[in-house]
Amino acid sequence: MNNSGKAGCGCLIFLLILVMVATGLFMHPLTLKFLARQFRYEDKIFPSSAIFVPRFQEDRGGELYIEAFRDYQAGNGRIIWVEDENILGMSIVEIIQRMAKARDVRGDVLRRLEVSDGKEAAIEKIKERFSKSGYKKVIILVPEYASRRFHLLYGFPGNNEGTIFLIKPVSVSYFKKETWWRDPVSRRALANEVCATGSYFLRRFTGGEKDKKDTEKQ
């Protein structure tokens, strides 16, 4: 009697069960919470030369800037640099200056930093600018879910030409860390981080560094 067909069906069923178990484990809330935590990174914060707030379009309530005001008032930074962008004819810095005034922070504390894009080339220019300005330490305020990527971009020793970048993750209300998979905005934010972090490693392992050196030689 030929049992090969039954054996093949048994293997297929066993494989399907394994896939179902793996999927169930991945979709379990504990696993999903663990996944979100892997995107969080935090440096120990020291009083620094400046505070830098990159632009995050999702931060419509200005929570990163409010945290920057708190750090400034706590003496953690003497200047607040803001990545600028025009919105309906008004620059981000103009809006932030109004927020600063409402919180008793002097407007002249704010500095405008124009960034052409969010790619590594622009980030290298930011590092160079802070280094040439003589800043020894710069605190970078970013949402929790983006802090690991910013550590990769700014935090590794030897990348920063004398400037130490300290990554401070900020808990923002629009990202539901404990239930991110149920919230569309949170899902989109984390999905964007997965793509951005994956793109970073892809460039690193497929010649991104070589292209950068070639550009520097030209």
Write down the pTM of the prediction.
0.79
Task: Give the other-Cβ count within 10 Å of 98's Cβ.
Answer: 10
Q: What angle do CA 103, 146, 71 make, to 5 degrees?
A: 25
- Walk along the chain (218 residues) and give the pLDDT tens digit of each residue: 455 444 445 555 556 555 555 554 456 777 778 888 888 999 999 999 999 999 998 998 999 999 999 999 999 999 999 998 777 777 888 889 999 999 999 888 999 988 765 566 688 889 989 999 999 999 999 999 999 999 999 975 444 568 999 999 999 999 999 998 889 999 899 889 988 888 888 877 776 555 544 444 44
| Cα gap 217→104, rounded to integer Å | 47
HSE-CB for 70 with a 13 A CA cutoff = 9
**Which of 141, 143, 116, 145 lies closest to 39 in space, CA to CA?**
145
Query: Hunting for tokens 């490693």 — which residue is that?
Result: 201
> What residue ranges in 10-60 does DSSP mark as E strands?
50-53
**Which of 130, 132, 150 lies closest to 141 in space, CA to CA?**
150
| Cα gap 80→67, rounded to integer Å | 11
User: Which H or E run includes 80?
Assistant: strand 80-84
Cβ pair 6, 160 in contact under 8 A: no
User: Which H or E run includes 15?
Assistant: helix 4-27
> What's the burial of 199, exposed, middle or buried (CB within 10 Å: 0-12/13-18/19+)?
middle
Q: Which residues pair with 165 in a beta bridge?
A: 138
Handedness of CA 134, 169, 112, 121 (dihedral sign): positive
